[in-house]
Amino acid sequence: MRRALAGFLGALLLAPTAAAAGAEAGAKAGSLAAAIDARAAAVEPQVIAWRRDFHRHPELSNRETRTAGIVARELERLGLRVRTGVAHTGVVGVLEGGRPGPVVALRADMDALPVTEEVDLPFASKVRTTYLGREVGVMHACGHDAHTAILLGVAEALAHARAELPGTVVFLFQPAEEGAPPGEGGGARMMIAEGALRDPRPEAVFALHVVPQHAAGQIALRAGGVMAGSDRLEILVRGRQTHAAYPWLGIDPIAVASRIVLALHAIPGRRVDARHPSVVSIGAIHGGVRHNIIPDEVELLGTIRTLEPSQQEPIHARIRETVRGITESAGAQSQVAIVEGYPVTYNDPALVARMTPTLRRVAGAGNLVEGLPRTGAEDFSFFAQQAPGIYLWLGIRPPEVAEADAAPNHSPRFFVDESALVLGVRALSHLAADYLQGG
């Protein structure tokens, strides 16, 4: 009874103090949020100008020297600690807030694609280069120009509010998300190997990607696997060359390869769990020189996509046994090589649950929608293996354009409605700020 009374009195005494502390923290959080929104609005024209400049001057993977130079200069101007030349052209900026707290990381990719732009814009890319021996145009056809400009806008918004920021924000500007040129390392994996996530080590990491599947003003989010893991498949079928009029005198690798293609397509959903989406596609078949010779060998090149990390191994095993079974039954021989590419991009469910109120507040009622997983791959997955991560989609389709009519990422007609960019700035800024404040 006495203890209960003491507890009751204690609670009475503590209550006003706790309430006051809570109110003070709430006011601080509110003023930080207001400062971020004000700065994001002020920096919007600059974000659009950065994006147009990057768009006019696109650079292929591991060649982002001009872009990285601008990024480094802007981060230094804002007073961040800046490291350049990470994984070739990557830039890491560290913003220490005025108050102690945890560490979060925000990531943008900087590279463009060997695509010849067909969009009629005053700042359309006219850049041409040689890629794998071919003369090609270069275009920000995946929107990484927007990502880089948005993250610079975030640096501006958070640096402006740094005195009130309780913790540290690491800015990761990464090269070669689309894949390093043959023979070169690069991208997120190489940035991690070169210490981009050490000193300080983030405990959460956030990124976004612009997509035309959602209208400007919308953010799409999903927990779990959001982008597929991708592995490259290389199969060599060895038969025995013969006249095509007398196939029984040899072993026909083209017939074997044909059966392999159809059997591989049947693995997702038939040989592995249909409740976890996966895709096996053959994208190239090389073999033979003319119509009346059955060749010795056929090479098949393909890709394996999975949205559930635990499915990767079973699919690989089924592919190997399927190829082996078909080739053996035909008297042929085969080799299978599976080259691991990107892991599944996995949105940590607890982190998604924790940060959903932030995104709902930032996007506004009805503008935070559930995204569908995609069978494309993303090397943000490597960062999200190091710390719980969220990868969100930022809608950039002009509202008057129907989803079916919008050019997809990697199209020469890919188009970004720039009114969406400021929402990207606010989303990443508030994710970082709210996370640091324990929100």
What is the phi/psi pair of residue 266, to 5°? -85, -5
**Which pair of structure tokens corresponds to residue 240?**
């025995």
Minimum distance between the CB of residue 409 and Zn ion, rounded to whole angstroms? Answer: 5
Instruction: Round to whole Å and give the CA distance between 246 and 4.
Output: 97
For Zn ion, which residue has the nearest CB?
Answer: 142
Q: How far is the CB of 144 from Zn ion (least distance, A)?
A: 6
Strand 90-96's sheet: what is its strand order?
81-86, 90-96, 166-174, 99-109, 204-215, 389-397, 219-221, 368-370
Length of the chain: 439
CB of 109 to Zn ion, least distance (A): 6
Query: How far apart (Å, rounded) are the C-alpha atoms in residues 247 and 64?
Result: 52
Binding mask 256-275 for Zn ion (x = CB under 5 A): --------------------
CB of 268 to Zn ion, least distance (A): 23
For β-strands 293-294 and 242-243, DSSP reports them as antiparallel
- The answer to whether 192 and 172 are in contact (CB under 8 A) is no
Question: Which amino acid makes up residue 52?
Answer: R
Show the binding pattern over residues 93-132: x = contacts Zn ion (CB under 5 A), - = does not: ----------------------------------------
Tokens, residue 163: 């005195």
Q: Is 246 a catalytic residue?
A: no
Q: Does residue 342 carry a catalytic annotation?
A: yes
Name which of residues 132 to 191 contact Zn ion (CB under 5 A).
142
Give phi and psi for 274, each to the nearest 5: -65, -15
Annotated catalytic residue within 64, 178, 308, 418: 418
Residue 280 structure tokens: 């096996």
For Zn ion, the closer of residues 142 and 159 by Cβ is: 142
Strand, helix or coil for residue 431: helix
Helices 2-56 and 144-160 meet at what angle, rounded to 10?
130
Count the residues of the shown chain that bind Zn ion, applying the rule CB under 5 A.
1
* 358 in Cβ contact with 438 (< 8 Å): no
User: Residue 240 Cβ, how far from Zn ion at the closest point, in Å?
Assistant: 42
Nearer to Zn ion by Cβ, of 142 and 192: the residue is 142
In the range 40-59, which residues lie near Zn ion by CB under 5 A?
Answer: none
Q: Nearer to Zn ion by C-beta: 37 or 118?
A: 118
> Which residue do the tokens 């292929």 mark?
60
State the nearest-atom distance from the C-beta of 61 to Zn ion, in Å.
10
Q: Give the active site residue among 59, 342, 378, 435.
A: 342
DSSP 143-156: -HHHHHHHHHHHHH
Site for Zn ion in 344-363 (CB under 5 A): none
Active site residues: 342, 418
Q: Interface residues with Zn ion (CB under 5 A)? A: 142
